[in-house]
């Protein structure tokens, strides 16, 4: 398994690819990334909710959430890359959603919010590149209110051992080009949430067999 990129390197990479991130990630995932975003929003967000999309990137997931929360809800886009957030701001203006969105730059492993601040926490493909995805997951769980939900999608390993071996071989090659790999690798954060006492409401593997995604929804007990 490849080692994670440093936070400093990741920030440089994502600032650099921000303008092409949407089509690049869609192309490399055969558009299964969008299916994951739609699933987590559909199963977590309701009208009037306060939502944080951590690792929001260019805002694709956040915009889906903003449409569901309506005028009475709010969505906070939180990301460490200024370039990605700048792209999200431009897209928000074009979609007429700016009035229900807040943009904040920072580290997912150190969220600057009080405990129990949001009805919903979302993370789509933002845990995969992190140096410490477990700590970021604990932070997401911390800021969700009791009775609130977390919707997460991240890279996972193939189930078939042969396919897994092929995927790891290819991964070692494209890992040498961070602007292509985006620092993404398979992670496993479900045990973190189970240890914290979360109820797992939904779990599904989607995507291309070589590089599948795990999509799941967890609830913080009330």
Q: What is the 3-state secondary structure (H, E, C) of 60-117?
A: HHHHHHHHHHCCCCEEEEEECCHHHHHHHHHHHHHHCCHHHEEEEECCHHHCCCCCCC
Whether 17 and 24 have beta carbons less than 8 Å apart is answered as yes
Q: Is 125 left (phi over 0), alpha (psi -120 to 50) or beta?
A: left
pLDDT value for 130: 96
Whether 185 and 131 have beta carbons less than 8 Å apart is answered as no
pLDDT value for 214: 97
Q: 111-130: per-residue pLDDT in tens?
A: 999 999 999 999 999 999 99
pLDDT value for 117: 98
pLDDT value for 38: 98
pLDDT value for 220: 98
- How far is Cα 113 from Cα 115, in angstroms, rounded to an integer? 7
Whether 101 and 120 have beta carbons less than 8 Å apart is answered as no
Q: Which two tokens stand for residue 64?
A: 């889906």
- Per-residue pLDDT band at 163 (split at 50, 70, 90): confident
Evaluate if residue 149 carries a pLDDT over 70: yes
Mean pLDDT for 145-157 is 97
Q: Which domains does the chain have, with CATH numbers?
A: 7-219 (3.40.50.150)
Percent of the chain exceeding pLDDT 70 equals 100
Evaluate if residue 206 carries a pLDDT over 90: yes
Which one is predicted more confidently, 33 or 176? 33
Residue 111: what are its φ and ψ, rounded to 5°? -65, 130
Which DSSP helix (H) or strand (E) runs through 14? helix 7-17
CA distances from 196 to 187, 190, 202 (A): 18, 10, 17
Q: Is 59 left (phi over 0), alpha (psi -120 to 50) or beta?
A: left
pLDDT value for 160: 84
pLDDT value for 1: 67
- Per-residue pLDDT band at 174 (split at 50, 70, 90): confident
Evaluate if residue 106 carries a pLDDT over 80: yes
Whether 14 and 83 have beta carbons less than 8 Å apart is answered as yes
- How far is Cα 217 from Cα 33, in angstroms, rounded to an integer? 16
pLDDT value for 70: 96
pLDDT value for 176: 86
pLDDT value for 41: 98
């Amino acid at each position: 398994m490849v080692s994670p990129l440093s936070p400093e390197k990741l920030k440089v990479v994502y600032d650099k690819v921000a303008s092409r991130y949407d089509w690049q990630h869609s192309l490399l995932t055969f558009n299964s990334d969008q299916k994951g975003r739609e699933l987590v929003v559909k199963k977590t967000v309701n009208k009037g909710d306060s939502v944080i999309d951590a690792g929001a990137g260019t805002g694709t997931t956040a915009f889906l959430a903003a449409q569901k929360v309506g005028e009475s809800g709010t969505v906070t886009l939180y990301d460490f890359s200024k370039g990605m957030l700048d792209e999200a701001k431009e897209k928000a203006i074009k979609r007429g959603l700016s009035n229900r969105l807040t943009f904040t730059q920072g580290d997912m492993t150190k969220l600057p919010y009080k405990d129990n601040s949001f009805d919903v926490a979302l993370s789509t493909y933002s845990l995969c590149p992190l140096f410490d995805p477990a700590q970021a997951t604990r932070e997401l769980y911390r800021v969700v209110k009791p009775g609130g939900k977390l919707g997460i999608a991240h890279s996972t390993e193939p189930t078939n051992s042969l396919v897994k071996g092929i995927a790891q071989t290819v991964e070692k090659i494209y890992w040498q080009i961070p602007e292509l790999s985006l620092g993404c690798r398979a992670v496993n954060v479900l045990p973190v949430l189970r240890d914290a006492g979360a109820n797992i409401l939904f779990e599904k593997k989607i995507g291309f067999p070589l590089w599948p995604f795990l999509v799941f929804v967890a609830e913080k007990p009330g």
